[in-house]
Amino acid sequence: MEIKDYIINGADKLFCQYGFKSVTMDDIAKHLGISKKTIYQNFKDKNELINILIRDRIVNQDLQMNKCLIASENAVQEVYFGMQDMDYFLATMNPMLFYDLQKYHQEAWLKFMAFKEKEIGKKIMENLERGKQEGLYRDDINSEIITRMRLDQVDVVFTQNGHYDTNKNSLSNIMVEITRHFLFGICNNEGIKLIHKYDKEILQKQELAKSN
CA distance 29 to 24: 9
What CATH number did the domain enclosing 29 receive? 1.10.10.60
Higher pLDDT, 173 or 78: 78
Contacts (Cβ under 8 Å, ≥6 apart) of 18: 94
Give the lowest-confidence range in 102-116, 164-178, 181-195.
Answer: 164-178
54 falls within a domain? no
Residue 124 shares a structural domain with residue 175 = yes
What CATH number did the domain enclosing 137 receive? 1.10.357
Residue 126 shares a structural domain with residue 189 = yes
189 falls within a domain? yes
pLDDT at 120 over 70: yes
Contact 89, 99 (CB under 8 A): no
Q: If pLDDT is split at 50, 70 and 90, which confidence band does 89 have?
A: low
For a pLDDT cut of 90, what percent of the chain falls above it? 67
pLDDT tens digits along 147-187: 999 999 988 877 766 677 777 877 778 888 999 999 999 99
Q: The dihedral of CA 15, 17, 23, 26: what is its sign?
A: negative
Nearest to 25 by CA among 95, 54, 108, 34: 34
What range defines the domain where residue 28 resides? 1-43
Q: What is the pLDDT of residue 203?
A: 87
Contacts (Cβ under 8 Å, ≥6 apart) of 74: 130, 131, 134, 136, 194
38 falls within a domain? yes
Contact 98, 161 (CB under 8 A): yes
pLDDT tens digits along 52-72: 999 998 998 899 999 999 999
CA 9 to chain centre: 17
Q: What average pLDDT score do residues 22-49 get? A: 95
The string over 146-176, giving b where at least 16 C-beta atoms fall within 10 Å of a residue's C-beta and e elsewhere, is bbeebeebbeebbbebeebebeeebbbebbb
Provide the mean pLDDT of the chain: 90
114 falls within a domain? yes
Residue 116 shares a structural domain with residue 20 = no
Residue 12 shares a structural domain with residue 81 = no
Helix H, strand E, coil C: the string for 94-144 is: CCCHHHHHHHHCHHHHHHHHHHHHHHHHHHHHHHHHHHHHCCCECCCCCHH
Residue 126 shares a structural domain with residue 157 = yes
Residue 117 shares a structural domain with residue 205 = yes
Residue 117 shares a structural domain with residue 38 = no
Provide the total of helices (H) and of strands (E) in the chain, helices listed first: 11, 0
Q: Which residue type is seen at 107?
A: E
Residue 129 shares a structural domain with residue 164 = yes
